[in-house]
Structure 1
């Protein structure tokens, strides 16, 4: 821990056993809001970092009642996207404008960041470092501990972010990504036309039953997290509608390679 305190030292400060502290820190037992406050004071955590965890502990006990009482005005997710994704067991991504950071090559990443508006860059809410990417990819390989369903709009394949050669290399990298055991890539063809409410978003699910799914949207003013069931439902429904329009796996792979080769030929 960054505080330098041992389990026994923390337990002495909060007046309970080291075993309880260990189980709380490893998510083996539910944590109450009172426990959160006690640990936060013991570790000298400031208000900015403490409040989201405090409200999250309250909400975890009865999410529906919490949402009704607070009117959905109390945000419980205050982590970066990378921090939340690292805890997820199932990630559903809909990418209709730009590929998700998990699959970016360095050149594609540089091109996306160059095109960001200043407000987004200053907030840093799109930060997604190489170490985190490597950790996520390792969870999708061999015996995967993570599952990713990536739904792409066909137009994304033809948008030459960073130029034709950069995009061609990115699509070849995407084809490699699609072969990982924990990954499935789906393609929504242009022929589908417009599906009502189409937008890019991510749904994240977790192994722990006390944690509800969350929806994430990347906006110019910063990350937007949707935690209430009524807020998440339209995105779940949209994901289902888009999935019903996707191509078969072999056709998706064929169009992916074809788009990459066309871009490479253009670059030549």
Structure 2
């Protein structure tokens, strides 16, 4: 990854588990993610990242808030590196309907998603409300896979106070299988772009 270890400059600010996550993300070849409540960090605009960070860390001093937003935007370098991280994301429709940061921030975020979704190494699929209850409604997860096959995939589950890293074969198989099911239930990438555009229009 280009500039591996850039996050060391933010050492005092980033909790160790977040550093571990960034380190995995920067080394991974592919990431598969389900998000049920917010736009994944790699796809967030600065305005959205700021609103999400402010909401989740109430009362944070402005300087620290700025730095955390910088970290989030710096992480997105993996999508521009050579070779780039291949990202497959399944987002619940609720993610795009929830007005984070107000209408203007949200409109900018929806348009950014449309652009990023058209990158060759990004696959974005939406789970529309019409799908009903689906597997994976248990909460968000990320599966990282690495360039060398000897490196096991890692599943990361995000909890409010900590992250859980799973590397057992059974867990990996369960989450990989859940992700395939989610992709099968989700709209195609093309229809997902149509839904993003429709939600953008609804918000006018």
Match of 2:94 among 145, 155, 179: 155
Is 1:87 matched up with 2:27? Answer: yes
Whether the 8 Å CA contact 2:41–2:72 is kept in 1: the answer is no
Match of 2:78 among 136, 143, 148: 136
Cα distance change, pair 219–125 in 1 and its aligned pair in 2 (3 A)? farther
Whether the 8 Å CA contact 1:90–1:206 is kept in 2: the answer is yes
Match of 1:185 among 103, 124, 146: 124
Matches within 5 A, 1:66-145: 79-117=19-57, 128-133=71-76, 135-139=77-81, 144-145=83-84
Q: After TM superposition, give the deviation of residue 78 of structure 1 in Å.
A: 8.8
Structure number, greater radius of gyration? 1
Query: Structure 1: how far apart are the matches of 2:43 and 2:21?
Result: 15
Cα distance change, pair 247–233 in 1 and its aligned pair in 2 (3 A)? same
Cα distance change, pair 126–236 in 1 and its aligned pair in 2 (3 A)? farther
In the alignment, structure 2 segments of 5+ residues that lack a partner are: 1-16, 59-63
Whether the 8 Å CA contact 2:126–2:186 is kept in 1: the answer is yes
In the alignment, structure 1 segments of 5+ residues that lack a partner are: 1-76
Match of 2:173 among 218, 224, 233: 233
Task: Count residues with an aligned counterpart.
Answer: 182
TM-score by length of 1: 0.62
Structure with the greater relative contact order (CA < 8 A, sep ≥ 6): 1 or 2?
Answer: 2
Query: Structure 2: how far apart are the matches of 1:125 and 1:131?
Result: 10
Calculate the aligned-residue CA RMSD, in Å.
2.6
